[in-house]
Structure 1
Amino acid sequence: MPANSELSRCHGAVVVDSNCTRFSLWAPDAKTINVVTDGGRSMAMLPGNDGWFVLETQCSAGTLYKYKINNDYEVPDPASRAQAEDADGYSVVVDSESYRWQHLGWYGRPWHEAIIYELHVGLIGGYSAVESMLPHLADMGFTAIELMPLSQFSGSRNWGYDGVLPYAPQVSYGSPEQLKSLIDTAHGLGLAVILDVVYNHFGPDGNFLHTYAKHFFHSDKKTPWGDAIDYGRREVRDFFIGSAIMWLSEYRFDGLRLDAVHAIDDPTFLNEFAECIREEFREPRKVWLILENELNEAHRLKKGFDAQWNDDGHNTLHVLLTGETDSYYADFAEATTEKLARVLSEGFVYQGEPTRHGQPRGEPSGHLPTSAFVLFLQNHDQIGNRALGERLVHITPAPALRAATAFLLLSPMIPLIFMGDEWGADERFLFFTDFHDELAQKVCEGRRDEFSDFAAFAEESQRECIPDPNAASTFESSKPKFGAAYFKYSQGQDHLAWLLFYRRLLSIRQSDIIPRLRNSHAIDSQVLGDKAVSGRWRMGDGSTLRIDLNLGEVAVRVDETFTGHLLFKTSDDNQEYFQNVLSPFSVVITLEGVASVIHKE
């Protein structure tokens, strides 16, 4: 195994100097490999040990090339650093050292300071368009942005989870230099940048690894995306670890969110992945590693990973806010208020209990710090995986959504919001792709079949209204209308009021929650009534944060007398709370053990 710092240079084309490039390809099922350029050059690669082919030759940055397998067919570099046009076209030799960074003194932010804004680069308009909106996000009070996956996929529009070239930033969004400029500008504004990476599968179009490296996959192990990736092979592990190191070093991303790691069938890979990243990037550099993991493996959050997306927390809140209990929400349909109390005090709901399928899920999580859980009311999945892409503003009473939003942004867990939430965006976020012919038809049919478990779409005729993912109109209608839309009224949503509400909450989190957040832990929680809970946390400075939340339509009594200083409340009737009554659709947040009143709405 090569040293960690060399991992990102084991696969692909690496510029050695201004006139020389080293090409490396693992192709154990090929007999001969040639590097062919768009200018007509063809250069034979030298076979090495364990299926490697290598060539070091005169070749400058900007050269377009492919690999010719067995003098038969041409494929892009699986570790391409950039594509000229599409996933199956020419790869581009990229000089990773050519960009001149303006903020080399940036080493990142401590994880507990994270307030995350998730966005889709393509919908915003590309890397440069995202860069232009960064001052707004920083001014609002966000401290980090999370980019949905950028790895090159087939076509020009996609959520990003169908990537096939994990080293190449999507060309339809802009150039590698524009992506680096985005990150550079973010750092200058104090914003960390997280990249969502997909290391559990490849997309259905544009991946050619199986034709010359069939042992990259387990042919006898199937996943929803085809043959499982064989993480037991050294070359395969290095391929993905090298990709991660490249994004963190060459692009200076501050963190990675690993998609659906429960689909990685070799648990030792994640252990090694975290070890390699931590060894490669040491203090003062701060690198965040975040998991999406349906298995709720709490032990991973003590072994190299900072946090996990808390789907349990979201699902519980969603059922309380909307009353929806179809499909996976059925696991949260019973004793939902009690489940929310467990989220407050222990993080995960499922800690080994059986789901609706009868399978145990999760591990005990009450010992973990509050910052081990990323909480959200919405994200790309929870909006886009709805048949019609509705946001909570479409399906939740505004007072309840305001109370839940205040809870999200002022709780001691790490908050994440989805683009447009901060101004009550009306636009739906739909599932979209850019496939063609038979694959496009299969994706459209598969998308509609996904909702057969939902009562509203049980009949095939009902599912015909679900938008075709491949239609350009599906993509266009998902674009949030930023800019002047902040100050307009649409479908009853006061965008300016939402914007000011978010700004105020983020200001409170910055000034009064984050400075106390390090080493905070839960004390206890209790059910106050139907859809109403109370939770307490010991903060890092010894103070006690208390949140009383009522998402129901009926006022509830609060047993414990109010003694703390008021941090935030949504109810205008302050006297009610002093009388130990929590109004419908309200939240009251207090701090005990501090010298003075901090805020009052």
Structure 2
Amino acid sequence: MQTHDLPQQTIADIPMTSYGATLYGPDLTRFRVWAPNANQVEVLVNATETIPMTPLADGWFEAVARCGAGARYLYRFDGRLEVPDPASRAQEGDAHSASIVVDPHSYQWRDTGWTGRPWEETVFYELHVGAYGGFAGVTERLPALARLGITAVELMPIATFPGSRNWGYDGVLQFAPEKTYGSPDELKALVDTAHALGIMVFLDVVYNHFGPDGNYLCNYARAFFRDDLDTPWGAAIDFRRPEVKEFFVQNALYWINEFHFDGLRLDALHAITEQEWLPELAADIRARISPDRIIHLVMEHEDNAAHLLPTSFNAQWNDDGHHALHVMLTDETHGYYADYADDTAAKLARCLEQGFIYQGEPSSHRNGIPRGRPSHHLPPTAFVLFLQNHDQVGNRAYGDRLTTLARTSALRAAMALVLLSPQIPLLFMGEPVGAKAPFRYFTDYADEQLAAAVREGRRSEFAAFAEFEDEEKRSCIPDPNDPDTFDASIPPTAADPDLDRECRQWLSWTRSLLKVRHAEIIPRLAGCTAETAQVLSAKATSARWRMGDGTVLEIAINLASEPVPYERNLSAGDHRLLFETPGAGIAARSGHLPGDALVAFLSTPQTHS
């Protein structure tokens, strides 16, 4: 039924929203799309009705129709192009199929008393939903993560992408949960279950680009993109346009309000040309949520954007810390690791004391271009520290994990540093059990030309590396579009009943570290400040922090195989050993730190009356 067939009072009573299909009753839906380059727009409902959309000001079109939840629809532009809603809330199939009208109130929430958790309590576990069997599969694994000590699950992007396998960074329908993962209500059940277990849920969102297959916006809304700037993914999104900015603000609020996500991880914000929009985005999100919600925003930003921390964003992924630790563990110095090849222990010490390593210094990997801003004034909790994540594992040629690249004893010491330092820790899926299964880059493009371009493009990325100078060796790099590439990337987890002995030992190690973090570190994190850090040897350093309750935490780590001298630098008072790798505590008290070792002390300074 067309808009003009509806009672005028009914139309007047429908409030305005900006994007997508909005359900207002059992059989009443309003459709709205921004199409400044279209002359005529129609909405095709259930493949049986064609409803003309009314042109409004500034390129908007809308229609109100007698249809309800479950209705399938497409937009037709200028009588030719039929495509899904760019703000679709669910898809019948993949990114090229019909959109579905969704009832946002169909799920009955149980987490009515949940408002969130303080940032200091965050222990991240990053995972790929598809590798865990979809939303239901993740939900089944949540109790085991809660028992382990995980307090925040971070889902890699779930926005609808073409095909059935993808990392998620090729999403093209930013509001529609990927159908192969499950329904919107199954995603809500995941979040609801997590909250019942005391676990926050974060979503990785991609606001810097759309994927290469299934993005039709440029056909009817060319103003969504700049015509003067390109990115590695195509034309840059134009965040100077209010309609574009509002699209992404509404997307962030959609995940937070409708799905009860506790926070967002915003991918590659350095790739957004209009950097001045970033604090505006964060402010808009925080201003438009319920004041009783505790919401956290985490950014990935290659330029070490300390000026956005922690006022606009709670924290940034600390790639600097990862890179220094990776070099110390593996001795790899190619690519961006070249920036960390010299004075690596001093760089790690700076990371522990000041957060970022590069704070405006020139980067050799960037041809001498300065990188970063001063971060010494920021609290340690403004940084998310990790040894592995989807990027650092998956962007390797074979998706190798550190368990296959480093000595087990050194890797365990490094994990202890990540989980006991005052920076916010992140574990990648499979990491708590020492998984050796790779995590590879995978796709499922039906377009053979695109699939071939992605395959060859990925292999050419590694041509500059000595081990892949030979074309025959590059040809052995796994094909992202091969289903076996995805199948090989599914790791064991803490929930698996048949873990082998080595995985169980890793799980015990992780559990013991998180037990200490929850008991001794987290309660003291609010108000924590770094005091000092020093180099002990080429692969060893120590650092001290003044905790929020006045105690002093000192951690010393040696990632070399040989012992190094170590004089504890604790102030006078009560010294307590919090954690040690086997034998490290006794050795530290006698003035040295064994190879592949970590020791952590907590001191309560003496008070003088």
When normalised by structure 2's length, the TM-score is 0.94
Match of 2:126 in 1: 118
2:211 pairs with 1:200: no
Match of 2:8 in 1: none
Shift of 1:571: 2.9
Distance (whole Å) between structure 2 residues aligned to residue 56 and residue 318 of structure 1: 56
Q: Is the 8 A contact 2:144 2:495 kept in 1?
A: no
Q: Provide Cα deviations, 1:72-117, integer angstroms capped at 9, x if missing partner.
A: 1201000000101110110000011111101111001111100000
What are the residue-to-residue correspondences of 1:162-561 with 2, within 5 Å? Answer: 162-356=170-364, 357-435=367-445, 436-482=447-493, 487-489=498-500, 494-560=502-568
Shift of 1:17: 1.6
Q: Provide Cα deviations, 1:329-361, integer angstroms capped at 9, x if missing partner.
A: 111111111100100100101000010111000
Q: SS where residue 398 of structure 2 aligns? A: coil
Q: Provide Cα deviations, 1:540-570, integer angstroms capped at 9, x if missing partner.
A: 1011110011111221111336662100000
Q: SS where residue 203 of structure 2 aligns? A: strand
Distance (whole Å) between structure 1 residues aligned to residue 345 and residue 15 of structure 2: 48
Match of 1:3 in 2: none
Q: SS where residue 458 of structure 2 aligns? A: helix
Q: Greater shift after overlay, 71-80 or 554-563?
A: 554-563
Q: Is the 8 A contact 1:8 1:246 kept in 2?
A: no
Shift of 1:283: 3.6
Alpha carbons of structure 1 residues 454 and 486: separation in structure 2 relative to 1, 3 Å: farther
Match of 2:5 in 1: none
Match of 2:135 in 1: 127
2:179 partner letter: V
1:434 partner letter: D
Q: Is the 8 A contact 1:486 1:496 kept in 2?
A: no
Alpha carbons of structure 1 residues 476 and 338: separation in structure 2 relative to 1, 3 Å: same
Q: Provide Cα deviations, 1:447-475, integer angstroms capped at 9, x if missing partner.
A: 10111222211222221110000000101
Alpha carbons of structure 1 residues 77 and 131: separation in structure 2 relative to 1, 3 Å: same
Alpha carbons of structure 1 residues 554 and 7: separation in structure 2 relative to 1, 3 Å: farther
Shift of 1:484: 8.0
Q: Provide Cα deviations, 1:469-515, integer angstroms capped at 9, x if missing partner.
A: 000010111111347866544xxx71111011111111111111000
Match of 1:583 in 2: 594
Identity %: 51
Shift of 1:8: 10
1:360 partner letter: P
Shift of 1:42: 0.5
2:578 pairs with 1:571: no
How many corresponding residue pairs? 587
Match of 1:599 in 2: none
2:406 partner letter: T
Q: Provide Cα deviations, 1:25-66, integer angstroms capped at 9, x if missing partner.
A: 000000111010233100000000000001122110100000
Q: Is the 8 A contact 2:584 2:599 kept in 1?
A: no
Distance (whole Å) between structure 2 residues aligned to residue 543 and residue 39 of structure 1: 68
What are the residue-to-residue correspondences of 1:59-78 with 2, within 5 Å? Answer: 59-78=67-86
1:560 partner letter: R
Q: Is the 8 A contact 1:485 1:495 kept in 2?
A: no
Q: Is the 8 A contact 1:487 1:496 kept in 2?
A: no
What are the residue-to-residue correspondences of 1:31-46 with 2, within 5 Å? Answer: 31-46=39-54
Alpha carbons of structure 1 residues 160 and 150: separation in structure 2 relative to 1, 3 Å: same
What are the residue-to-residue correspondences of 1:50-89 with 2, within 5 Å? Answer: 50-89=58-97
Structure 1 regions of 5+ residues with no counterpart?
1-5, 596-601
Q: Is the 8 A contact 1:290 1:305 kept in 2?
A: yes
Distance (whole Å) between structure 1 residues aligned to residue 101 and residue 322 of structure 2: 43
1:588 partner letter: V
Structure 2 regions of 5+ residues with no counterpart?
1-13
Q: Is the 8 A contact 1:7 1:238 kept in 2?
A: no
Distance (whole Å) between structure 1 residues aligned to residue 121 and residue 110 of structure 2: 23
1:249 partner letter: N
What are the residue-to-residue correspondences of 1:151-166 with 2, within 5 Å? Answer: 151-166=159-174
1:251 partner letter: F
Distance (whole Å) between structure 2 residues aligned to residue 484 and residue 525 of structure 1: 38
Alpha carbons of structure 1 residues 474 and 227: separation in structure 2 relative to 1, 3 Å: same
Q: Provide Cα deviations, 1:132-191, integer angstroms capped at 9, x if missing partner.
A: 000000011100100000000011000000000010000110000000000000000000
Alpha carbons of structure 1 residues 8 and 318: separation in structure 2 relative to 1, 3 Å: farther
Distance (whole Å) between structure 1 residues aligned to residue 16 and residue 393 of structure 2: 35
Shift of 1:7: 12
Q: Greater shift after overlay, 459-468 or 199-208?
A: 459-468
Q: Is the 8 A contact 1:561 1:580 kept in 2?
A: no
2:425 partner letter: P
Distance (whole Å) between structure 2 residues aligned to residue 572 and residue 454 of structure 1: 39
Distance (whole Å) between structure 1 residues aligned to residue 229 and residue 568 of structure 2: 55
Distance (whole Å) between structure 2 residues aligned to residue 271 and residue 115 of structure 1: 25
1:558 partner letter: Y
Alpha carbons of structure 1 residues 159 and 97: separation in structure 2 relative to 1, 3 Å: same
Q: Is the 8 A contact 2:145 2:494 kept in 1?
A: no
Q: SS where residue 172 of structure 2 aligns? A: strand
Shift of 1:120: 0.2
Shift of 1:575: 2.8
Alpha carbons of structure 1 residues 272 and 505: separation in structure 2 relative to 1, 3 Å: same
1:33 partner letter: V
